[in-house]
Chain A
Amino acid sequence: MVHYIEVKNLAFQYEEEPVLENISFEVDAEDFVMLTGENGAAKTTLLRNILGLLKPSKGSVRIASKNRFGEKLVVGYVSQQVASFNAGFPSTVLELVQSGRYQRGKWFKRLDKEDRDHVRRSLESVGMWDMRHNKIGELSGGQKQRISLARVFATDPDLFVLDEPTTGMDVNSREEFYELLKHNSSEHGKGILMVTHDHEEIRHYADKHIELVRKEDSPWRCFSMDSCKELSKPHS
């Protein structure tokens, strides 16, 4: 089994203040892992360490370079702030979602029919196809969130790293989104690591649950992981 993400004894601190300690887990192909914790539990900090946007002060993080087929591993990341993009950014919805395909070897090539089909399916899956010619800055918060997700679906990554991607979505949209993620992990072998507050909703879809809990013995607001629990599926 290929470990798409491998975190070993990770610790992180801002200057002198420890924020994360003793974090170890793996995300494999076909895994749907949810990461939870109270507000301020450094969940985003952990994701940023994993992605290389921050440097761990101890331990190691490794993201596989190849996917399970031996091809270059493609990571799709949706950050918490990505939906609050600059209102003046001059781009249509279609342009932005198409940009998700660039990572698929299209930085210097024209998008072909397969790419365009992917883009169309992604936009349709979040109900935004009809708004494809709208300027992204004119969309509502929820719509921006949906096109950010459409963009990552258009990339069709091997590994999804999602930071609270359902903010601003209604219950039905959230359920559809989780179904789509589950389909991607179980049917297409994608690895998924998602920060969320909706753990009660997602536990029926996710395979593993990592909870960041505050360390009682630390004078700092420092978090560690409780355990990496395998979740049982009521419907399976």
Chain B
Amino acid sequence: MEMFFHGFMQRAFQASLLISLIAPVLGLFLILRRQSLMADTLSHVSLAGVALGLLIGVNPTWTNILVVAMIAIVLEYLRAVYRTYSEVSIAILMSAGMALALVLMGLNEGGATLSMNQFLFGSIVTISDQQVWMLLILTLIIGLLYLVFRKPMYILTFDEETAFTAGLPIKTMSVLFNVLTGVTIAVIMPIVGALLVSAVIVLPAAISMRLSKSFNGVILIGIVIALIGMLSGLVASYEVGTPPGATITLILIVIFVITALIKNLLRHVKFESPFKKSNIMSIEKKSRH
């Protein structure tokens, strides 16, 4: 209980709660648009944004948001250029982001190494009130956008050609979605770490997709799973002293494995049920003999 009296833990719980609300929404659209790795790319790019901020002495959160938003637009352009091999755009930008981050860090002569570690692996101790407020505003924006645009986004993720012939501005929607994902990653990244931010976004939706038949169901279950993973991960991270991003990711992976096992088991039981009419009849037949 002692952890709840620390200001930094209170902010960490507030941030986790907000991340749990937005991660499954973005994660589901990323998975369905086959852009799961885009989150990873943008998190690598966001390191360059942070390195730039530290180098020029500007709050890295702002340079990060700016750089990631710009790259999110470039990513959509490259996705259109390499339509058949869209992962090429991911490979190009992921390496470009990482290389740029390393070069900018090198130019900073080691002064920013400690800060970079925080951004790489995440830190709950350093969550500021400003970050929590930014997350709250972002959550409200994403929640509102989801409520207003969920129908166009449903069609866009189902089939882009159907969306185009229905008169939807698919390019603008794709770019705005990418930018929103980029900004979210830039805001979440200092908390969970650049290396694992994509896992925190994608895993809850990946798990809930196996559990629900309906679109809204996936998002609701995803929020519950994200809450379980984030909050328990945070507690474990505090108690054991492990990095929060890694702890949360491992817990989500354990949930993923457990749900996959239970689902397979249920399917097996469904097909091999001893209560099946044919089984019961054959048992009755045997007992008569």
Contact = CB atoms under 8 A, between A and B. Distances in A.
A53 interface: yes
A95 B28 CA distance: 16
Contacts of A95: 154, 214-215
A108 B148 contact: yes
Contact of B158 (A51, A85, A106, A135): A85
Interface stretch (B35-43, B162-170, B250-258): B162-170
Interface string B209-231: 10011110110000000000000
Interface string A166-210: 000000000000000000000000000000000000000000000
A88 B152 contact: no
A9 interface: no
Interface in B126-169: 148, 151-152, 154-155, 157-159, 161-162, 164-167
A55 interface: no
B32 interface: yes
Given A99-B154, A107-B152, A82 B159 contact: yes
B213 A134 contact: yes
Given A91-B214, A99-B151, A106-B151, A85 B159 contact: yes
B158 A91 contact: yes
A88 to B, nearest CB: 6
Given A53-B161, A90-B215, A108-B151, A103 B32 contact: no
Given A103-B167, A107-B151, A108-B148, A79 B213 contact: no
B158 A92 contact: no
Where chain B touches its partner, the secondary structure class is helix
Chain A: number of interface residues, binned into ranges: 20 to 34
Interface in A84-119: 85-86, 88-92, 95-96, 99, 102-103, 106-108
User: What class of interface size applies to chain B in its complex with A?
Assistant: 20 to 34
Interface in A134-152: 134-135
Contacts of A103: 166-167
Contact of A79 (B152, B157, B162, B215): B162
Contacts of B152: 102, 107
A79 B159 contact: yes
A65 to B, nearest CB: 10
Q: Is the interface of A mostly helix, strand, loop or mixed?
A: loop
B151 A88 contact: no
Contact of B166 (A79, A82, A89, A102): A102
Contact of A102 (B155, B157, B213): B155
A89 B158 contact: yes
Contacts of A33: none
Given A99-B155, A102-B151, A108-B151, A90 B212 contact: yes
A91 B214 CA distance: 4
Interface in B39-65: none
Nearest to A88: B209
A75 interface: yes
Contacts of B209: 88, 90
Contacts of A99: 151, 154-155, 158
A52 interface: yes
17 contacts: A53-B165, A75-B165, A75-B167, A89-B32, A89-B157, A89-B158, A90-B28, A95-B214, A99-B151, A99-B154, A99-B158, A107-B151, A107-B152, A133-B213, A134-B213, A135-B213, A161-B165
Interface of B: 28, 32, 148, 151-152, 154-155, 157-159, 161-162, 164-167, 209, 212-215, 217-218
- Report, nearest first, the 7 A-B pairs whose CB atoms are least far apart: A77-B165, A135-B213, A90-B218, A102-B151, A103-B166, A92-B214, A91-B215
